Structure 1
Amino acid sequence: MSASCDEDVASSCPFKLAGGESPVPGSCSPAPLRNPSPPNELIGLSDSIGRTAFSKHWFFTTLMKLIKVIEKPKTDEVTDDSAATREKTPVVSIKDNEPVKSVDPEATSPSKNSAPENGGSADKENKAEETRIMNIDDDLQDELCQLWDMSSDEDVAKLLQEYKAVELLSEVITQSEAPRATEIAVGILGNMACTTSVCESMADCMTLVDISLRLLTNSDTPTLVEATRFLSTVLSSEKCQETWLEAWGSDTQHCQNIAFILSSSVNRDLISNSANLLDNLLDLSDVLCASWSSVQLVTSIIEALKQLGLSNEEGTYSLLHSLQLISTQTSGVSAIVDQVETIADVLVEFLLKICEDEIVNLEESRSAGVASAVSVLNIMLTSSPAGYSLLYSGGDCIRCLLKIIYACDKEVVILGTPKSSPSLTSGNSSLIRTLKEVLYVIIAETVTIMNTEETDVSQTEDDELSERTTPSLLNYMNSSCERPRLIALVNLLLSRNGQEVIKDILDLCSRYKLTRLEELILDCGDTTD
């Protein structure tokens, strides 16, 4: 086999070759006459990238191919060759008598049902524009895919940065309208951004900052998946957050682009990535949170929650946290109140799914999601006249809240570990405490609302009327709720110095003749002191 055959095979493989042997058996087997292989301990020392088994030779070869494609003229020069002349025929517009860019002659052939001569010049220019767009052949795409996999390694990412890969890949994204090429380029950048030093340097490339944000208008779903992942990753570095946040705040269209993706996409990976991106942006910037809190964004979040359900828990929890962050803004509260009925249905459905098991699982991520959902419920309860009736018209919401309160009360058992176990992380303990605070507030607000209602059942001796006018949540607590959950509720109130709330509940028990609930509360201790 000739030496050139060995070189061609080696250049197509990202891994260094041991002893000069070809990775492809068969016709490309090593030639019988050649220099002996070096010792195994010396093989590849000069060709490895850092501590990896990746070949520098293959790496450079692939980058050089990409550079050649980028630097290649975007229009093919017309030569005197008749075949080339036939392939690229100048077209003259009768209307303007000005030359139009070269197009495929078949587009203007009378046999192809072409448009009238005075029209269609714009279509011809569009076709000509397509010939100027950079494309990447399948072989190079495959090699770039291998580079994509390699780029997650820190040593490879740093070498890519050293050889200006950020600028090269930015040029690919700018010039290419081949969706696969754009997806690969963005994917490589996303992997590179996982290396802190590389991520920080990316913020200095304003071309990359600009084009990556404009990618949110791309119509190709795989490209959008990678773009949203990349935009979330670059926000992880504190040193470059300011640059990216300023870029996000420079145009309100960026918020509309995210809202459109959330409201219209059915791809769960894309929705989840977009949800994580939105959550990061709202959490990192009070300015963005204030300016983006709108009915449009709230509506988009609700649509995305309907699409995800619990099929992608990370995305769902990010959406709920975004909704909670929006609820901290005056404009956000107004937007939530505007959609209060739809939001109530979605949040109660979420809580029902969380509470499907007899014992609610409150691992760290779920604790955060549940706390966000309950916080938004509390905003709805206190800010909307319809909030109370929507949340408590049936028994589902109070059942879920009491199950969650019980889970918080038994947090160590639910996590399946003894108190001394390190797996009960401080982070999750903090989340449980936060969740307890939110639950206490929502229960206290609910009791206050019930006590201020003008319903007066004390004047009637009709037990049937009394039962019919008793709030459904109190009926559930008195007749159906398990004793351990009610005890957990009393423990929660007592732990937050909620004696006044307990007195109000006892007043309600007296008003609506709820004997079981009253006795149980009194059995928990002397709560009236």
Structure 2
Amino acid sequence: MDVLSTIRTLMNQNGLQSVFIMTCVGSIKAMRLRMASTTDVIDLTTPHEIVSLVGTLDSEGQHIHGSFSDRTGQVIHLTMTSTENVPTPNNDPGSFSSFRSTSDHDTPSQQHQFDSTPPIHSSHRQISIHSQNTTTQSSSSSPTVVRNPSPPLIDNLSRADMVGDEMYSKSWFCQVLLKLIQYVAPQQIHDEIFSTIRQQGDEYVSTNSHKKQELDETFESELCELWDVSVSADVAHLLIEFNALDLFNVVLIECKDKRCTEIVLGILSNMACCKRNIVQDNQTISVALCIIQHTNLLSTILSILTSDDYSDCPTLVQLFRLIYTLIVRQDTRSLMLEHIQLTYEPLCFILQSCYNKELLEQCSFLLRVLLDECNLFDNNEQTEVFYLFLTSITTAISALIENETITTTNILENLFNCLQIYTTHEHFIDMLNEHCQTIMKLIENILNRLVHDDIVQIRSVLLLSCISICNFFLYKHGLNIINKQLLEYFIIIGHTCYKDRQRREHQKHMQRRQRSRTQSHSSNKRKDVDDFDTNGKTGDDDSLLKSQNSLTNVDWDDETEFQSITKVDFDRSTSEDLATTSYTLVDELFLELFYRGIKQDSSKTTDNNTSVFTQLNQDQREIFRKIIKHFCNIDKRLDDMLDL
């Protein structure tokens, strides 16, 4: 039988596109071979044992090397090259005869020429010219065969279709985008809009199909994969290159499937986060700016807020995430602020009526950025909008507390931070006074959950915002807004800060002592070495050496301290900053309480109002006294003020 023809038959019967020969054991009666580095072929008609045989076969050819030994033990090596367009003995273009195995029905005269094509990855084709008029050939009439080059590296072959370092190919992105085109409305999309995508995905989608696909599980999974990888800058740039923004705009307009709309908005949000700029029209701009400057995409995105078709929470989460990303970026903020007023009413409506945690979190992030970084308060003409914001914030906080969703710390932190921002603008005093009782009641409910006798998170951003707001209202309204419960919470917070600062000061003192001991020990050690190793140096040399050692010692300590600072974790440094801020706010709070208490005490002879401090027990009064005297350092402040 013919070995390679048999393998070909096996491939055709089993529908195999490519196979490889791992090893082979057996013998052959006849073969045609080409020696390495030569164009001559030799026909052998004597039996040989197969020593080794390895190679690959696919639908277009094979690349096989082998070694064969004769009856004397001599080994000959075979290199099988690739040829094409050579008919086989059976005139079957699908079979590839090369050498014959020893079989009872084979004879030495059944010698067939080797016939194949280069490997599929080869960029060149070598053609061998064979004589088709004779069935047997001798070595003198050997055809000319061009040496088959080694296939190029697989990495170089796949790199052309790879998207950056992602394990996805450009053709895969084309397929997904083309599916999305067909899913939305293929009969309504002009060919020129998506010409780039269609050129990359030849014959993938039939142009005759006008039937909308359902967003089945497979297609949804592919869109989600596209959503996931769109965080990559390479993928974001590829989508811009494929004019995907045009497609996404059509999807947001035409598609009524909420899941598909959510995915598209999520992809746009990921693209807007891309930090690497793209070159477009000889200008270097960001991907986020491409989204903003698109003809209709931004208006389409903002119109979703007023559409009833997209009023589901997952879609709105991705929508507000996209708006937040475009607002935060410096290069797109000014353009977004021109249209941001369209989001005010939907934003307030969501804060007042929604209970979805993710959506409230995105809205609170956006509102905080609008109030804190975008300087919206500089425009005093929008008083009604700011009043609506304030009412929405207090309503959202009340709903969160009533539903006992106090664990949603990020939402509450953002909302209370917005209230704190209101207290920094004088023209909102009347507006805040109107909501004073409501806000103080909300703060009391928050402190009821954050403040305990055993544990107080003094570095909590939410707690610090509450204290800052209390300082504002205490300064404006005095002790009238403070009840016994609030004062007890303040005393627990103040006492915790006092103990925490004592602990930190003790740690710093111990660290300074340790550094001092280390420096002293190092200096003494260097001094002993200097006294021992004089080597006839003069007094000036010794003085110079000691001076150098002392300088070296200082440099060493500074370097060690610098390295220790650089190794401090970011969370730890943030915690230290929050601790310092908490000390400052608590100090201001108790000084204001102390001042208001003195003022109230001096006027109690004329007024019959009972002081809130008299409602405290003896232990609480002692703690308050300790906080004023030691934490607020009232004696030192008096000495500094009087220059004593």
Superposition TM-score tier, normalisation by shorter sequence: 0.5 to 0.7
Instruction: Tell me how far apart the structure 2 counterparts of residues 400 and 356 of structure 1 sit (CA, whole Å).
Output: 8
Any gaps of 5 or more consecutive residues in structure 2?
Answer: 1-10, 21-56, 62-118, 122-152, 190-209, 276-285, 512-563
Output the CA distance in 1 between the equivalents of 2:361 and 2:503: 28
- Shift, 1:301, TM fit: 1.2
Deviation track 1:467-511 (CA, whole Å, cap 9, x = no partner) reads xx753345437433675x7545434422896449x99xxxxxxxx
Question: How far does residue 434 in structure 1 lie from its aligned partner after superposition?
Answer: 3.4
SS at match of 1:216: helix
Once the two structures are superposed, the pairs formed by residues 147-186 of structure 1 within 5 Å of their partners are: 147-186=226-265
Deviations 1:408-439, CA, capped at 9 Å, x for gaps: 625749999x9766237554444433333333
Distance 2:311 2:506 in 1: 44
Deviation at 1:146, TM superposition (A): 1.6
Aligned match of 1:337: 433
- Distance, in Å, in 2 between the alignment partners of 1:447 and 1:486 is 10
CA distance in 2, matches of 1:272, 1:162: 33
Q: Secondary structure at the match of 1:266?
A: coil
Paired residues of 1:200 and 1:239 also in contact (CA < 8 A): yes
Match of 2:326 among 221, 234, 257: 234
Question: Which residue matches 1:446?
Answer: 593
Structure-2 residue corresponding to 1:266: 355
Q: Deviations over 1:350-381 (max 9, x none)?
A: 22322236243344xx2x33332222112222
Which of 214, 223, 229 is matched with 2:315 structurally? Answer: 223
Shift of 1:51: 0.6
Is residue 44 of structure 1 aligned with residue 158 of structure 2?
A: yes
Between 1:268-277 and 1:134-143, the stretch displaced more is 134-143
Q: Which whole-Å CA distance do the structure 1 matches of 2:58 and 2:174 have between them?
A: 28
- Counterpart amino acid of 1:327? T
Give the superposition deviation at 1:265.
0.6
Task: Answer whether contact 2:161 2:169 (CA < 8 A) is retained.
Answer: yes
In the alignment, the residues of structure 2 paired with residue 269 and residue 441 of structure 1 have an alpha-carbon distance, to the nearest angstrom, of 35
Q: Secondary structure of 2:162's match?
A: coil
- 1:73 — aligned with what? 187
SS of 2:424's partner is: coil
Residue 453 and residue 245 in structure 1: after superposition, are their counterparts in 2 closer, same or farther (change >3 A)?
same
Report whether the alignment pairs 1:56 with 2:152: no
Alignment partner of 1:493 is 2:640: no
1:361 paired residue among 457, 471, 488:
457
Amino acid at match of 1:137: L
Residue 343 of structure 1, CA deviation? 1.1
**Alpha-carbon distance in 1 for matches of 2:182, 2:503:** 61
Which of 364, 370, 380 in structure 2 is aligned with 1:281?
A: 370
Q: Identity of counterpart residues, as a percentage?
A: 23
Answer yes or no: is the 8 Å Cα contact 1:48–1:54 preserved in 2: yes
Contact 2:416 2:462 in 1 (8 A): yes
**Residue 319 of structure 1: how far off its partner (Å):** 1.0
Structure 1 CA distance for aligned equivalents of residues 270 and 453 of structure 2: 38
Superposed counterparts of 1:189-204, under 5 Å: 189-196=268-275, 197-204=286-293
Q: Secondary structure at the match of 2:187?
A: coil
**Aligned to 2:422, which of 326, 332, 347?**
326
The match for 1:28 is: none
Among 463, 475, 492, the residue aligned to 1:382: 475
Q: 1:49 to 1:490 in 2, by over 3 A?
A: farther
CA separation in 1, counterparts of 2:213 and 2:596? 65
Aligned length: 408
Going from structure 1 to structure 2, the CA distance change for 1:359 and 1:231 (only over 3 Å counts) comes to same
State the partner residue of 2:584. 437
- Counterpart CA distance in 1 for 2:295 and 2:428 is 32
Amino acid at match of 1:471: S
TM-score (norm 1): 0.66
Q: Is the 8 A contact 2:251 2:261 kept in 1?
A: yes
User: 1:362 touches 1:407 (CA, 8 Å); kept in 2?
Assistant: no
Shift in Å at residue 223 of structure 1?
0.6
Report the Cα distance in structure 2 between the residues aligned to 1:374 and 1:68, rounded to whole angstroms: 57
Q: Where in structure 1 are there 5+ consecutive unaligned residues? A: 8-18, 20-30, 76-131, 460-464, 504-526
Q: 1:471 to 1:66 in 2, by over 3 A?
A: same
Separation of aligned partners in 1, 2:507 and 2:370: 31
Partner of 1:85: none
Given that 1:294 and 1:335 are in contact with CA atoms closer than 8 Å, whether structure 2 keeps it comes out as: no
Query: How far apart, in 1, do the equivalents of 2:347 and 2:635 lie?
Result: 40
Structure 2 CA distance for aligned equivalents of residues 212 and 403 of structure 1: 51
Letter in 2 for 1:171: V
Structure 1 residues 457 and 347, CA gap change in structure 2 (3 angstroms): closer
Counterpart of 1:452 in 2: which secondary structure?
A: helix
Q: Counterpart of 1:360 in structure 2: which amino acid?
A: V
Larger Rg: 2
Root-mean-square deviation (Å): 4.2
Q: Which residue of 2 aligns with 1:370?
A: 463
CA deviation vs aligned residue, 1:118-158 (integer Å, no higher than 9, x gap): xxxxxxxxxxxxxx9x9863254332122111112222122
Quote the Cα distance in structure 2 between the aligned partners of 1:330 and 1:158.
Answer: 46
SS in structure 2 of the partner of residue 44 of structure 1 = helix
Shift of 1:60: 1.0
Post-superposition Cα deviations, 1:29-85, rounded to whole Å, max 9, x if no partner, equal xx985767866655632222101111221111111222344552359xxxxxxxxxx
Find the aligned partners of 1:398 and 1:165 in 2 and give their Cα distance.
56
Q: Distance in 2 between matches of 1:352 and 1:427?
A: 25
CA contact (8 A) 2:458 2:497 kept: no
CA distance in 1: counterparts of 2:502 and 2:246, whole angstroms: 54
Note the 1:503-522 alignment, pairs <5 A.
none
Q: Partner residue of 2:303?
A: 214
SS of residue matched to 1:271: helix
**Structure 1 Cα separation of the partners of residues 295 and 588 of structure 2:** 46
CA contact (8 A) 2:591 2:628 kept: no
Against the structure 1 CA distance between its residues 149 and 480, is the aligned structure 2 distance closer, same or farther, given a 3 Å change threshold? Answer: same
Partner Cα distance (2:586, 2:336) in 1: 36
Asked if 1 retains the 8 angstrom alpha-carbon contact of 2:495 and 2:627, the reply is no
Distance in 2 between residues matched to 1:457 and 1:383, nearest whole Å: 20
Distance 2:361 2:162 in 1: 37
CA contact (8 A) 1:362 1:415 kept: no
User: Does 47-56 or 325-334 show the bigger shift?
Assistant: 325-334
Q: CA deviation at 1:280?
A: 0.8
What SS is found at the alignment partner of 2:159?
coil
Structure 2 CA distance for aligned equivalents of residues 349 and 279 of structure 1: 22
What is the SS of the residue equivalent to 1:480? helix
Match of 1:476 in 2: 616
Q: Which amino acid aligns with 1:202?
A: I
SS at match of 2:293: coil
Q: 1 or 2, which has the higher strand percentage?
A: 2
Q: Structure 2-normalised TM-score?
A: 0.55
Counterpart-to-counterpart distance in 2, 1:380 and 1:331? 15
Moved more, 300-309 or 186-195: 300-309
| Equivalent position SS for 2:168 | coil
State the 1:312 CA deviation.
2.0
Aligned equivalents of 2:213, 2:602: Cα separation in 1: 73
Aligned mates of 2:636, 2:389 — CA distance in 1? 38
> Compared with structure 1, are the counterparts of its residues 34 and 497 closer, same or farther at alpha carbon in structure 2 (3 Å cutoff)?
farther
- Give the direction of change, closer, same or farther, for the CA distance of 1:288–1:140 in structure 2 (3 Å limit): farther
Residue 188 of structure 1, CA deviation: 0.6
